[in-house]
Amino acid sequence: MRVLGIETSCDETGIAIYDTEQGLLAHQLYSQVKLHADYGGVVPELASRDHVRKTLPLIQAALTEAKLTSADIDGIAYTAGPGLVGALLVGACIGRSLALGWQVPAVAVHHMEGHLLAPMLEPEAPDFPFIALLVSGGHTQLVRVDGIGRYQLLGESVDDAAGEAFDKTAKLMGLDYPGGPRLAALAEQGEAGHYKFPRPMTDRPGLDFSFSGLKTFAANTIADAGADEQTRANIARAFQEAVVDTLVIKCRRALRETGLKRLVVAGGVSANKELRRQLQAFAEQIGGQVFFPRPEFCTDNGAMIAFAGAQRLAAGEQVGTAVKTFPRWPLEQLAEPKLSI
């Protein structure tokens, strides 16, 4: 089965074609970073309009890359949520319309399920069950995964997500959009030991997160310390250390409490080099395994949507003719398909 995946949940237009026998056949991605840079963040209306302009040309580019035509597509998967409602509607309307015109089934994909399953696109894919750390600009969650659609939420952020805290702190430091990756790059130039940030909610039981306080702590530190380049680098390093340590502590706790030794890390922040280094070292320490998607599949992309959609289409799942999107869509509300990989 060949599935066309469409991702338009926020500020990246991702298109991919996944074949259940041959694997990923095509992957096209357009980022709106330059479009939103002048505003210091994503402008929803501009994001929606850009998806309108880019989605169909990228679909044609993906078909050309895979040396296929529309007649070779067996199903269409599109992101239905969570995300920006206008952006979601663009992908959903195009996906559902193409499915109707091409006379193939369509399926609505949960954005975070796409991220959760992204490591399945790698040559060494994790076996079920495992713990997933979903860490991005909009979500920080720990999920027990026993199979596709079999998700148990163990913990989540009670305020800012980790990626959101990165972006907001970067803005406080005067870094350009997108701030998170720029802050991480600046942290590499920082010296250890100059500042000590708290590790929020690690001194109490449970697997929930809180990162808004780190942003406030960073704001106060920046105000007191000045703004020369080395000082900013030292603050960036201390901030990143606090976020990474918090995530590692909670992952360690989740694995210990469930007795599992496989960890999947996905979402935009999973590309962070220090987070990868520490989680890899931790996994080796306990004799476990940690799985990451390749860097281009950490951020939003069509490949993860095509893959997740292919699993559900193969199980006979599909949507009707009505176009529905879910800007807020809890992952644990997803149903288990009849079949699984």
- Give tens-digit pLDDT for 114-126: 999 999 999 999 9
The pLDDT score that the predictor gives to residue 340 is: 39
Over residues 134-159, the mean pLDDT reads 95
For residue 48 the two structure tokens come to 């929606």
Stretch 133-145: mean pLDDT = 95
> How far is Cα 257 from Cα 206, in angstroms, rounded to an integer?
10
144 neighbors 129 (Cβ within 8 angstroms): yes
Predicted local confidence at residue 24, as pLDDT: 98
Common-topology check for domains 2-117+297-333 and 129-292: yes
Provide mean pLDDT across the span 150-173: 95
Q: What is the pLDDT of residue 338?
A: 58
Mean pLDDT of 66-94: 98
Q: For residue 232, which amino acid is it?
A: R
Residue 177 to residue 183: CA distance in whole angstroms: 10
270 is in an annotated binding site: no
Please state the rounded mean pLDDT for residues 99-123: 97
Annotated binding residue at 29? no
N residues, the chain: 341
pLDDT band for 339, please (50, 70, 90 cuts).
Answer: very low
Identify the helix (H) or strand (E) that includes residue 306. Answer: helix 302-314
Residue 63 amino acid letter: L
Is residue 67's pLDDT more than 60? yes
Q: Which residue has the tokens 């590309």?
A: 271
The stretch 177-198 carries a mean pLDDT of 95
**Inter-residue contact 226 to 269 (CB < 8 Å):** no
Annotate 179-198 with DSSP letters as a single string: HHHHHHHHHTT--TTS----
In one letter, which amino acid is 301?
A: N
Given a cut of 50, whether residue 201 has pLDDT beyond it is yes
300 labeled part of a ligand binding site? yes
Q: What is the pLDDT of residue 332?
A: 87
User: Is 51 flagged in the annotation as binding?
Assistant: no
* Phi and psi, residue 209, nearest 5°: -125, 160
Distance CA 213, CA 258 (A): 28
133 marked as binding residue: no
> Picking from 49-53, 84-88, 149-153, 221-225, which range would have the lowest pLDDT averaged per residue?
221-225
How many whole angstroms separate alpha carbon 324 and alpha carbon 311? 20
Q: How far apart are CA 96 and CA 78, in angstroms?
A: 8
**What percent of the chain is modeled with pLDDT above 70?**
98
Q: Report pLDDT digits (tens) over 293-331.
A: 999 999 999 999 999 999 999 999 999 999 999 999 999
- Token look-up 């800012």 returns 160
Mode of pairing for the β-strands spanning 12-19 and 23-31: antiparallel
Q: Which fold has domain 2-117+297-333?
A: Nucleotidyltransferase; domain 5 (3.30.420)
Average pLDDT on 120-143 reads 95
Sorted by where each begins, the domain ranges of the chain are 2-117+297-333, 129-292
In tens, the pLDDT along 242-279 reads: 999 999 999 999 999 999 999 999 999 999 999 999 99
Is 115 annotated as a binding-site member? yes
Residue 183 CA to residue 132 CA, distance in Å, equals 25
Burial 56-89 (b: 16+ CB within 10 A, else e): eebbeebbeebebeeeebbbbbbbbbbbbebbbb
> Is 138 marked within a binding site?
yes
CATH code at 129-292: 3.30.420.40
